[in-house]
Structure 1
Amino acid sequence: MNLKPVFLSFLIIMIGSAVINAQKTYQVVVDETKNGSIEIVPKIPSDGKLPEGTILKIRATPDEGYVLDAGYYSVKGMWGAMYHETMASPFEVLINQDKHVGASFIKASEVNHINVTQNVVYAKPGVKTLKYDVYSPKEAKNLPCIVIIHGGGWASNNEDIMRGMARELTKGGQYVVFSIDYRWQGKLDGDEEGNIMADIIEDVFGAIAHIMEHAKEYGGDPTRIAVTGDSAGGHLSAVAGTMPNKIGDGGFGKTPGVFEFMPSYLPENKTPEQVRNEMMKAIQAAAPSYGVFGGNLLNHYSGDPKADETWKEGIAPLSNIPNASEREIPHYLSRGTKDMLIKDEAVKVYVDALVQAGQRVQYVQAGGAGHAFFDWKPDERTKDTFKKYGVYYCAEMKAFFNSVFYPED
C-alpha cells in the first residue's frame, strides 16, 4: 500500500485545520433593543466570537408607532463607546475589531413634522468627505436657518450626534436646521499632513457657504442664520458668530499678524470677499454651549515654529468679538453646573467681554447637568440625559432665536 498520498492528504487537512484555528476572532455583543427588533445574518454564536472579515447584515424593524433612529456599531474610544451610525436598514457591519451592534428606535411623532436629508456633501479637502444633514419642517418656506456644529474635542464624533437637538429645534416649524461635520485635528482622519485648527474653522465656514447656496432647496432663508454647537462645537459656533470678518485669502499665520480663513467650499463665481460680506450679514445669532472661547484648552494644533500666542488669539472668539456698534451678534450661552471640563469662570470671562463690546448676551446654567447634555447617542443613559436637560434647554435656546428672528412674537 502506498502511504504517501494518504500522508499528504492528512497533512493538508492538518494544515487547513491549523489555519482555521489560527484565524483571528473578535467579540461581538448585541445590545438590547427597545421599541423594535433586529435580525442579524449570520447569527452570532453563543460565545459571541466571529472570524475577522465577517460581514454582518442587520435589519432593524421598529414596533408600531416607532421609527428607526439609527442602526449602529460601537467601539471603545476616548469618550467611552464611540458610535458609528446609519439611518438605513438593512445595513452591514464588518468585523475587524471587538464591536457592539444594535439599533435605536424613537417615537414616530418625533420626526413626523420634518423631512430629513442625510449626508449632503459640501467638500473633500482631505481624506474625509465632509457633509451635513438637513432637518426641514414639512411645508417649510423661507424659514431662518440654524447651523449646528458638533463637539468631540475637535477629534471625534460627526453630525449624527446632534440629531436630538436638530429635531427639537425644528418643532413648531419655525426653523430649518443643518447639522454639519468637519475634519478632525491632526492626522486622526488619516491625512498625511495634520489638520490644524484653522483647517477646521475653514470647514465650518465652507459648510455655511454651501448651506447659504442651497438653503432655499430645503425651505430655508440664506440671509437669516443662527449658529450653535456644544463643547468643541461651542468654540466653532462662537467663531462662526464672531469671526466671519476673518474670511479671506491671506492665509493663516503665513504673514505675521494675518490670520484669515479660506472656506473649504466656495460657491462658483464668488470670491472670498463676497462670501465674507454675505456671511457677516446672514449670521445674526450665536448659541455656543459649554464651549471653549480662549485660554489653555484652545490649541492651534500647528507644528509651525512660528506658531505662538498670536496663533491662539487668531482662533479665539474671546479675542475677536466685534463691537455691537459695528456688528451685533446676540449670544445665548449655556453650561451644566456639574461640568468638570468647562468651568463657570471661563464662560463668565467670555460673557464679560461680550458685555464690554456692547453685545446682548444671556448665560444660563443647567443645574445638575454635566458636560455634553445636548448630545444624542443610541444608549439609554445619553438619551435620558438629553430628555432631562437637552429638551428643556433646546426650547430655551429656540426662544432666544425667536427673539432675534421673530421679534414681533
Structure 2
Amino acid sequence: MLSQEAEELLGAMPPRPPRASVDLDTNRRGLRAQIPAFAPPDEPLLVGEGLIAGVPVRSYRPPALEGVTAPCVVYAHGGGWALGDLDTHDSWCRRLSLGADCVVISVDYRQPPEHPYPAALDDVTAVVRAVLSNPDSHDVDPDLVCVAGDSAGGNLAAATAQRLAGSSPPLVHQLLILPVLDNRPERWPSYQEHAEALGLTRDDMVWYFEQYAGPRWSEVADPGLAPMRAESLAGLPTATVLTAECDPLRDEGEGYAARLVEAGVPTAMRRFVGTFHPFTLYVPRLEAAVEALDLCVARVREVFARER
C-alpha cells in the first residue's frame, strides 16, 4: 500500500496515459515534462559533456575534485530504455556526485525503437570499459569504478557488470535501483499484485520491452536483455539493490539480490515500503526518496573507502 506522502504526490500530478495509448514522441515529452519535479540541488558542481568511446556523456565532479584522480560511478538513466535522457536524471546524478564525493558519468545511450537491443547495452558497456582502460583521460581512478542505474538503467548496469566480469581492473560495485532484471513477468507475483500500479503498470512494461527487443521479447533468453537468465552470478562485483513495495518489478529485483547472495556476492538489498516506481527521482519531495539517496551515497562511499 502506498504511503500517504506518496499518494499525495501522485495525486497532485496530472494523470499519465498508458504508454501504449500514445506515440513515442508523446511519451518522451511526457517524461521530460516532469523534470521540474526532480528539483536539482543548489550546491555547485563541475559539469561537462563530451564523448567517451564515441558515446555522448555528461560528467559531474565536485569542485574539490577538479584535477584530482577520483572514484567514479558510471550511471545509466531509467525510462524504459526508450524514454528518459541526461536531463531527466540530471538532478539525481548531481546529488549522487555531491553526496558520494565522486565523479558521476551519465551515459546518453542509444534508444529504441530507433536503436533496438543491444545498442543501449553496447553503449553503456563501451563507456565503462573505456573508463576502466583509459582512466587518465577522465581523471578517474580505474580501481574505484562502480556501475549504476535505475529501472531500465538498472538493467543496463546489471548486464554490463555481467559482461565485464573478470575484467582487469574489475568493477568494484553495481548499484541497481528498481531494476528490470527478467523478461518473464509470469514468474513474479508482484507483476500480478501491482499490475495497475501508479507510476508503472504491467502493460507499460510490455510496451517498453516491445520497443527495446521487439514483439517476441519474452522469448529472448539472452542475459544481456534479462540478467536473471544468466546461468551463474558468481564472480560479479558487490551489489546494492533497491526495490519499491508497489512496483511490478519488486520481486525480480529481490530475486536477483537473493541469487547474488547465493553465488557468494556480497549484496545489500532494501525494499522501500509504501513507494512506487520510480519514487527515487522525487528528492526532496518524498522522505523515502531522500532515504534511498542516502543509502546509495552511503553504499558507494563505503565501497570506495574499502577499496582504496
Whole-Å separation in 2 of the counterparts to 1:294 and 1:365: 18
Secondary structure of the residue aligned to 1:287 is: strand
Instruction: Report the equivalent of 1:196.
Output: 116
TM-score, length-scaled by structure 1: 0.55
Instruction: Report the equivalent of 1:221.
Output: 141
RMSD: 3.4
Whole-Å separation in 2 of the counterparts to 1:167 and 1:211: 19
Q: Does 2:196 correspond to 1:286?
A: no
Q: Give, as a single letter, the amino acid of the residue that structure 1 aligns with 2:227.
A: P
- In terms of fraction of residues, the more strand-rich structure is 1
2:245 to 325, 333, 337: 337
Counterpart contact for 1:241–1:284, Cα < 8 Å = no
Counterpart contact for 1:149–1:159, Cα < 8 Å = no
For 1:315-394, list aligned pairs within 5 A.
Answer: 315-320=225-230, 322-324=232-234, 327-339=235-247, 341-342=248-249, 344-375=250-281, 382=282, 384-385=284-285, 388-394=287-293
Counterpart contact for 1:150–1:233, Cα < 8 Å = yes
Counterpart contact for 1:238–1:288, Cα < 8 Å = yes
Whole-Å separation in 2 of the counterparts to 1:149 and 1:179: 6
For 1:98-109, list aligned pairs within 5 A.
Answer: none
1:182 to 94, 99, 109: 109
Instruction: Report the equivalent of 1:149.
Output: 76
Distance 1:328 1:210, change over 3 A: closer
The structure with higher relative contact order (CA 8 Å, sep 6+) is 2
- Give the Å deviation of 1:292: 1.1
Distance 1:103 1:350, change over 3 A: closer
Aligned residues: 259
Counterpart contact for 2:183–2:218, Cα < 8 Å = no
Q: Give, as a single letter, the amino acid of the residue that structure 2 aligns with 1:316.
A: A
Q: Deviations over 1:119-172 (max 9, x none)?
A: 312366xxxxx4111111223222211011111111111122222222222225
Secondary structure of the residue aligned to 2:31 is: strand
Whole-Å separation in 1 of the counterparts to 2:215 and 2:157: 25
Counterpart contact for 1:354–1:361, Cα < 8 Å = yes
Counterpart contact for 2:161–2:171, Cα < 8 Å = yes
Distance 1:407 1:383, change over 3 A: closer
Distance 1:309 1:144, change over 3 A: same
> Percent same amino acid at aligned positions?
22
Larger radius of gyration: 1
- Give the Å deviation of 1:309: 3.8
Counterpart contact for 1:148–1:162, Cα < 8 Å = no
Counterpart contact for 2:162–2:236, Cα < 8 Å = no
Counterpart contact for 1:322–1:328, Cα < 8 Å = no
Distance 1:123 1:217, change over 3 A: closer
Structure 1: state its 5+ residue gaps: 1-74, 87-101, 125-129, 188-194, 246-275, 376-381
Distance 1:198 1:178, change over 3 A: same
2:131 to 196, 207, 211: 211
Which shows bigger deviation, 314-323 or 355-364?
A: 314-323
Structure 2: state its 5+ residue gaps: 1-23, 185-204
Q: Give, as a single letter, the amino acid of the residue that structure 2 aligns with 1:198.
A: P
Q: Give, as a single letter, the amino acid of the residue that structure 2 aligns with 1:358.
A: G
Whole-Å separation in 2 of the counterparts to 1:223 and 1:289: 23
Distance 1:145 1:233, change over 3 A: same
For 1:10-409, list aligned pairs within 5 A.
Answer: 77-78=26-27, 81-83=30-32, 110-112=42-44, 114-117=45-48, 119-122=49-52, 130-140=55-65, 141-171=68-98, 174-187=101-114, 195-212=115-132, 215-245=135-165, 277-278=167-168, 281-296=169-184, 301=213, 309=219, 311-320=221-230, 322-324=232-234, 327-339=235-247, 341-342=248-249, 344-375=250-281, 382=282, 384-385=284-285, 388-407=287-306
Distance 1:323 1:230, change over 3 A: closer
Secondary structure of the residue aligned to 1:227 is: strand
Whole-Å separation in 2 of the counterparts to 1:172 and 1:371: 22
Counterpart contact for 2:100–2:298, Cα < 8 Å = no
- Give the Å deviation of 1:284: 1.4
TM-score, length-scaled by structure 2: 0.71
- Give the Å deviation of 1:277: 3.2
Whole-Å separation in 2 of the counterparts to 1:150 and 1:135: 14
Distance 1:156 1:314, change over 3 A: closer
Distance 1:207 1:328, change over 3 A: closer
Q: Deviations over 1:2-58 (max 9, x none)?
A: xxxxxxxxxxxxxxxxxxxxxxxxxxxxxxxxxxxxxxxxxxxxxxxxxxxxxxxxx
Q: Deviations over 1:323-369 (max 9, x none)?
A: 54xx2411111122222x32x32222212211221111111122222
